[in-house]
Amino acid sequence: MTDVLQGHRVVPVVVLDDAGKADDLGAALVAGGLPVAEATFRTPEAAAVLRRLAENPDLIVGAGTVITAAQVDQAHDAGARFVVSPGLSAAVVSRSLELGLPVFPGVATPSEIIAALDLGVDVVKFFPAEANGGLATIKAFAAAFPQVRFVPTGGISAATAPDYLAHRAVAAVGGSWMVAPELLAAGDWAEVTARCAAVPSSPSAASLQGVPA
């Protein structure tokens, strides 16, 4: 999964309440050169949306906003390739690992980072990123936990994503500007594709070596 994040370091965070639109959405992501998505479990249709997206062989699809072990099972059954949680749940992490799913639990404090490490996870979601100090906080965390990589999500935009991606501790960022709710509601797949194509290019793994904290 780390290889996936290095290759596609901006992960679209999708909130879609109509599984019938999933095929068009998946096609728009692929056409825009961003064939990865986090389908969030925020709507009753979440599992169905994830399943439809996962049927696209060109997409790498994970489940987001997973807060229970039962949802991990749902996500796995629907074809999720990874699991993302807004918080740190030992049950979610344990069940994901049992099923062989990479899992990115949410953290916002040093204590939660230590708890994640205790569970065997060293790539974590930093959430909500902007509300918790943004890049400045990641820099502080990275100094104390050099072995941890972060996936900041929450309030990140096309304008701020490059600054996050330039930091060596950031594996990827999650964002919704390219799959904004109004675009999905209107079925504006051309704009989704255009925003994906315009996603800021991210530094390669090699170029990140020696980037100052």
Q: Which residues face 61 on adjacent strands?
A: 37
Sign of the torsion formed by the C-alpha atoms of 205, 97, 73 and 93 = negative
Q: Which residues face 62 on adjacent strands?
A: 38
**Cβ partners under 8 Å of residue 190, min gap 6:** 28
Active site residue 191: no
Contact by Cβ (8 Å): 72, 95: yes
Active site residue 38: yes
Q: Name the catalytic one among 125, 130, 139, 182.
A: 125
In whole angstroms, how large is the CA radius of gyration of the chain? Answer: 16
DSSP-based three-state secondary structure for 90:
helix
Q: Name the catalytic one among 38, 45, 98, 182.
A: 38
Distance CA 192, CA 165 (A): 21
Distance CA 65, CA 41 (A): 5
Residues tagged active-site: 38, 125
